[in-house]
Amino acid sequence: MRILVVGLLTAGLAMAEWPQFRGNASLTGVATGELPPENLKLLWTWEGGESFESSPVIAGGVAYIGAGNGDLVAIDMATGKTKWKYKTGAELGESTPAVGGGAVFIGDLRGGFHAVDAATGKARWTFKTLSEIKSSPVVAGERVLIGSYDQSLYAIDIKTGKQAWKFETSGPVHGTPGIANGVAYVTGCDEHFRAVRISDGKEVFQVSSGAYTGASPLLVGTMAYFGTFGNEVFGVDMAAKKIVWKYEHPVRKFPFYSSATLAGGKVILGGRDKMVHAIDAKTGKAAWTFATRSRVESSPAVAGNRVFIGSNDGRMYVLDAATGKKLWEYEAGSALSASPAISDGKVVIASQDGRVFCFGG
């Protein structure tokens, strides 16, 4: 009984962290564990001096993020002090770190995929793809998955850095693969939503989206949700292997680059039309919109009934998930295209002028 209880507690603690882009392998963007307080305060600001397009992740009381100059940075969550920096040797773009097996993984804009010891910041191994990496890694058991602009999705052994398999698509793999039931689901610049078996890299099915897709898929039950550069958001039934609804704003025709989350039965994501959109998850009908002052490329995070999201207008907004009403905002002073991470009652987000902000009680 003691072993069972300890195991459950350990699992609960692991779930409460935010160790990869969107918080977990299903890319839900939903926080578990202790929620941030209603009255947020700025706890610390880390000054990096380099633009951040990469989003922060949180594991083991440490925030990890990739800076534009090529540094993978570890920041102590309690103090906001630098724990270590690892130089990748190339610029870093939107690839967000993933933590697993005692390592931190990230891709660079020269095609290098790095595994770094999470405790020390020392290199474990580097794997080379044939083009830039903007996709974020996802740990799947003893493998880590990463997409590359060389039009391939890779599965790499997390201990050795050796390639387990490579799945080739017809366009750059920009989005982050989502994982459910031993299958990786990836949206594509080749206008297809694909399911790839993790065990052997074989395609299970594909569905045409008819448009370039930069966003990553949200996986909930048998459904996947994602927006495209065709100005639409899709609800795809993965069991039936078909699109069950499409959403398009009746007036504002702009791409969706933000990855979605789900709260209160609503699919919520940002648009380049400067708005946050909430869509009924069953019907694809509009629920509410919230207007910001610039495009919204940040992907929302949910804690309880609140939605946390950045905008290129330099503000982080907290919205009521049911109504879209603004509950709180913070003016960072520079575009927030990166996405927030939430863990242990704290919210971390990075700006394009090189600062990382941590909010809590």
Say what the alpha-carbon torsion angle 197, 187, 99, 61 is, to the nearest 10 degrees: -140
Helix (H, G, I), strand (E, B) or coil at 9: helix
pLDDT for 356 beyond 50: yes
Mean pLDDT for 148-173 is 98
Largest CA distance in the chain: 59
Predicted TM-score (pTM) of this structure = 0.95
Helix (H, G, I), strand (E, B) or coil at 77: coil
pLDDT band of residue 342 (cuts 50, 70, 90) is: very high
pLDDT value at position 50?
84
**Per-residue model confidence as pLDDT tens digits over 243-296:** 999 999 999 999 999 999 999 999 999 999 999 999 999 999 999 999 999 999
Q: Are strands 112-117 and 41-47 parallel, antiparallel or unpaired?
A: unpaired
Is 287 in contact with 269 (CB distance < 8 Å)? no
pLDDT value at position 49?
82
Nearest to 125 by CA among 145, 96, 151, 103: 103
The CATH code belonging to domain 19-360 is 2.130.10.10
Is 169 in contact with 203 (CB distance < 8 Å)? no
Structure tokens at 124: 């474990």
Structure tokens at 67: 């800076």
Mean pLDDT for 43-72 is 95
- Give the C-alpha distances (Å, rounded to integers) separating 200 from 146, 147, 158, 183, 328: 15, 16, 16, 10, 46
pLDDT value at position 7?
33
Is 266 in contact with 280 (CB distance < 8 Å)? yes
Residues near 344 by beta carbon (within 8 Å), at least 6 away in sequence:
16, 17, 33, 34, 58, 61, 77
Mean pLDDT for 29-44 is 96
**Per-residue model confidence as pLDDT tens digits over 188-231:** 899 999 999 999 999 999 999 999 999 999 999 999 999 999 99
pLDDT value at position 188?
87
pLDDT band of residue 116 (cuts 50, 70, 90) is: very high
pLDDT value at position 3?
33
What are the beta bridge partners of residue 141? none
Mean pLDDT for 128-140 is 98
pLDDT value at position 179?
98
Is 330 in contact with 295 (CB distance < 8 Å)? no
- Give the C-alpha distances (Å, rounded to integers) separating 169 from 163, 215, 330: 17, 16, 40
Q: Sketch the domain layout of the chain as residue ranges.
A: 19-360
Quote the mean pLDDT of the chain: 95
pLDDT band of residue 8 (cuts 50, 70, 90) is: very low
Residues near 232 by beta carbon (within 8 Å), at least 6 away in sequence:
211, 246, 247, 248, 256
pLDDT value at position 206?
97
Percent of the chain exceeding pLDDT 90 equals 94
Total number of residues shown for the chain: 361
pLDDT value at position 331?
98
